[in-house]
Chains A and B, each alone.
Chain A
Amino acid sequence: MDYQLLWFVILGVLLTGYAILDGFDLGVGIIHLTARNDHERRLVMNSIGPIWDGNAVWLVTFGGALFAAFPAVYGTAFSAFYLPFMALLGALIFRAVSLEFRSKREEKWWRQTWDFLFFASSFTATFLFGMAVGNAMQGIKIKDGVYQGDLSDLIGIFPILVGFLAVSLFALHGSLYLYLKTEGEFHYYVRRWVWTSYVAFCVLYATVTAFSYQLVPTATERFTSSWVGWVIAGLNFFAVINISRALYQRRSLYAFISSCCSIIAFNVLFAYSLFPNLLISSYGDEHTLTVHNSSSTEKTLHLMAWFAAIGIPFVLAYTFTTHWVFRGKVKITKQSY
């Protein structure tokens, strides 16, 4: 069995799980400030109240699994993106804290400060994730497993565009989630935001696609050269179109599921265009980190495959249980944030 492929897939699953689950957490954060009053803002925060923490664990486990399965990639990528990752960590801390503390006091200044921090940290975290993906597609300056560039090399036009695409995608995903979780007048108000973010997303989607032909020809070549790539891209396109169809029919759950599917398709597309590379070097193929030259030993990968086989059914069971227990429209109760 090819354990390196297996772990590439497991990491892909973890990252996709994170993008779907924390994607809407981050997304509701991005549109948080559009809620008009204190009650609505509490509804926004409490729509993800019980579950954001479990969703963030997907990222933590992704990090741990990357460390264990491909230590060279983990070390090289994380140290290359040093300052962006530090900013990401700062943003993730502020997000957690602003959720936890916003509604602890009545004062207006207190709540407004946390509201702004909640928005800013959600936006920043999403943008940085997008930039990381953009850089990964484009390739970075690594030679002999050490990053040679500096901060300015990571801030190119393509990563910035992908950063904004990620923001619009999560804003769409988050507003669809909120649309699903709310009722009454606020429900119809959120619907307007779904459309706004949908339009923004479509524009950016088209722009990034156009730019990627120009700026990352290697990545686009990979998936246009075989029918599999076209099928995934087609499914992605179909899922995106289907969001608007479901919205038009006012089927909120269906629209949300379509949005999940489009995120899955994005991730598969990204993974497909990347494999077997994990960290592309702009100095040429011999410096690129692949699943083969950067993995842990077969023994460790085998051992951890057992961990995953035992653990993942449990993980899915917890995730399902939690989301099932907290299904339905969001209500403010005594335990709410």
Chain B
Amino acid sequence: MDTVVLLSRLQFALTIMFHYLFPPLTIGLGLLMVCTEGLYLKTGDKQYERITKFWTKIFAVNFAIGVATGIVMEFQFGTNWSRYSKYVGDVFGSALAAEGIFAFFLESGFLAILVFGWDRVSKKMHFFATCMVALGSIFSSVWIVIANSWQQTPAGSRIEELPDGSKRAVIEDFWQMVFNPSTVDRLIHVWLGAIILGAFFVLSITAYYLYKGRHLDFARKTFKVGLVVAAVASCAMMLSGHHNAKMVAENQPAKLAAFEGHFTTGDGPTGLYVMGWPDEKTGEVKFGIEIPYLLTFLVHEDFKTPVTGLDKFPKEDRPPVWIPFQAYHLMIGFGVTLLGLAFLGLFLWWRKKLFTMRWIFLLYIVAVIPAYLANQMGWVSAEVGRQPWVVYNQLRTEHAVSPSVPAWQVLGSILMFSVIYFLLFCVWVYVMNDKIKHGPEEAEHPEDAAKPKEGFLAAASATQDRGEHSLTEVTVDKEGTRIEAAPEKPVAPAAPPADPPKNPDGAPGA
């Protein structure tokens, strides 16, 4: 492969993978903040306000880095992939411009009010701003997934020849482009990935507090909400994953074959490798553990039709196998692990043992790492699996780079981004650590703690909901601000049954 192509691909991989640490988290956290602030507005309980403020701070840091690294992504299409830009501009560019006009302004305009506007606007206006930021981040994902999906499964466009002999894709039917064969499946997949990451991020932070015995009331409530969201979203993810694989089998069979390490089509049913080490030279999967019939069943829903293998494609059209295979299998492995962890938590909650085993929280503290990795690996398999095409069956990646940029310049920019992103990552870890260690504000003055009591009692007696339990917990927390974990424990098992009805937070996950 040409050096410039290789370097430009490396740079794209580096910058997009780093960028993608942030947007899915802000999508997940945005929804969470809408829920907690909505509860604050409804109940007037100051605790919800403090919780929302805490998540807002975490959100703001991630959002800021997401924006800064996102500008790089947008400029890179032009700097490193100018021929690609000229080819896709008519189609892809319009989706990107729509993202700018409809999503970015919405997000960043209201983010200011969300983060800095607590004392400047009314509660309702602030809640509106929170909703708009969450909506903006979702809009943003819609447009960028549309743009990417069109490249995977082009539709609604035709190829046109320009006077100078070069070709470009031009739009024919906008809505057909928007709803190309893969958009909906992939968008749902991306959203679920974001929600699962958000849920496990929240679980990780609250598990840390539960482990340390701090902010117990907040941590317990949020942990339970996180478990419900994680479980529902993970179940939905299994379905979505299956749909996506079928969609890929239909539209990009070579890509699916690479995911599954399926080299030779054969005559009979195809098995599914649970793991293995595909060798592209010999065309077989070494050390593979194979479940017979399974791939045929998953793709064709019978036990005899063979699944198309890589041998059906000309050599120059075959994607690399090792990376997509491993990334795809890791994604599924992590996804199943997360599903298991979510249900383990629910099981313990049901058996009333959730808050009695302190060590179990260590598991949830680290579980956020596979959640990040699953998101990353999903994109790695999607993007490497579509090679050698950048626009599927239309434009090869090697024909997409900028002809005028020499290799040393790309190498220079890779080095620059590596250094900057490494520093940025360190600073991010450092600041997140700082914020998490600090935690949500405790009620500062006794009057402050008293106020929500009145408001909440009034609300509780009026609506007859089961708010009193929460009230007692709050007051306990207030009086002995940093209570030890031990004396709290006996109270804990009684807590779970009272809480579920007050958890509408579970809803957006579905």
Contacts and interface: CB of A to CB of B under 8 A. Distances in A.
Contacts of A93: 68-69, 71-72, 420, 424
A69 B420 CA distance: 32
A97 B68 contact: yes
A56 to B, nearest CB: 7
Contacts of B120: 325-326
A315 B136 CA distance: 12
Contacts of B164: 144-145
B410 to A, nearest CB: 8
Interface stretch (B37-45, B82-90, B307-315, B500-508): B82-90
A17 to B, nearest CB: 11
Contacts of A257: none
A318 B106 contact: yes
A37 to B, nearest CB: 23
Give the bracket for the number of chain B residues in contact with chain A.
35 or more
Contacts of A146: 403-404
A101 B432 CA distance: 11
B412 interface: yes
A146 B98 CA distance: 28
Contacts of B94: 68, 296, 300, 303-304, 307
Interface stretch (A80-88, A216-224, A239-247): A80-88
A72 interface: yes
Interface stretch (A59-67, A131-139, A179-187): A59-67
A325 B117 contact: yes
A93 to B, nearest CB: 5
B297 interface: no
B420 to A, nearest CB: 6
A60 B74 contact: yes
B109 A54 contact: yes
A90 B416 contact: yes
A67 B89 contact: yes
Interface in B62-116: 64-65, 67-72, 74-75, 77-86, 88-94, 96-102, 104-106, 108-113, 115-116
Contact of B434 (A60, A64, A67, A104): A104
A243 B323 CA distance: 60
Contacts of B75: 63, 78, 85, 89
B256 to A, nearest CB: 31
Contacts of A89: 71-72, 75
Given A50-B116, A65-B100, A322-B109, A296 B78 contact: no
Contact of A57 (B108, B172, B409): B108
Contacts of A145: 86, 164
A318 B67 CA distance: 18
Interface string A218-253: 000000000000000000000000000000000000
Interface in B110-153: 110-113, 115-121
B424 A75 contact: no
Contacts of B98: 304, 307, 311
A142 to B, nearest CB: 9
B37 to A, nearest CB: 15
A65 B101 CA distance: 9
B85 A65 contact: no
Given A80-B404, A318-B109, A325-B113, A86 B104 contact: no
Q: Is the interface of A mostly helix, strand, loop or mixed?
A: helix
A30 interface: no
A90 B104 contact: no
Contacts of B424: 93, 97
A12 interface: no
A312 B100 CA distance: 11
A76 interface: yes
Q: Is the interface of B mostly helix, strand, loop or mixed?
A: helix
Contacts of A104: 431, 434
B412 A86 contact: yes
Contact of A56 (B71, B101, B115, B409): B71
B186 to A, nearest CB: 21
Contacts of B110: 318, 322
B416 A311 contact: no
Interface in A274-313: 296-297, 299-300, 303-304, 307-308, 311-312
Nearest to B57: A335
Interface string B281-297: 00000000000000000
Contacts of B395: none
| Among A54, A307, A308: residue with most chain B CB under 10 A | A54
A77 B96 CA distance: 18
A152 interface: no
A38 interface: no
A176 B121 CA distance: 26
A61 B412 contact: no
Contact of B82 (A56, A78, A296, A308): A78
A86 B118 contact: no
Nearest to B89: A71
A20 to B, nearest CB: 15
Contact of A335 (B82, B115, B427): B115
Contacts of B104: 57, 60-61
Interface string A101-125: 1001000000000000000000000
Contact of B79 (A79, A318, A319): A79
B402 interface: yes
B174 interface: yes
B170 interface: yes
Interface of A: 49-51, 53-54, 56-57, 59-61, 63-65, 67-72, 74-83, 85-86, 89-90, 92-94, 96-97, 99-101, 104, 144-148, 150-151, 296-297, 299-300, 303-304, 307-308, 311-312, 314-315, 318-319, 321-322, 325-326, 333, 335-336
Lowest 10 A-B CB distances belong to which pairs?
A71-B89, A78-B78, A68-B93, A318-B109, A75-B82, A61-B100, A311-B101, A79-B402, A75-B85, A50-B112
Given A53-B67, A67-B97, A78-B78, 5 more contacts: A50-B116, A54-B112, A67-B96, A79-B405, A300-B94
9 contacts: A64-B101, A74-B89, A79-B405, A92-B71, A304-B94, A312-B101, A321-B113, A326-B116, A326-B120
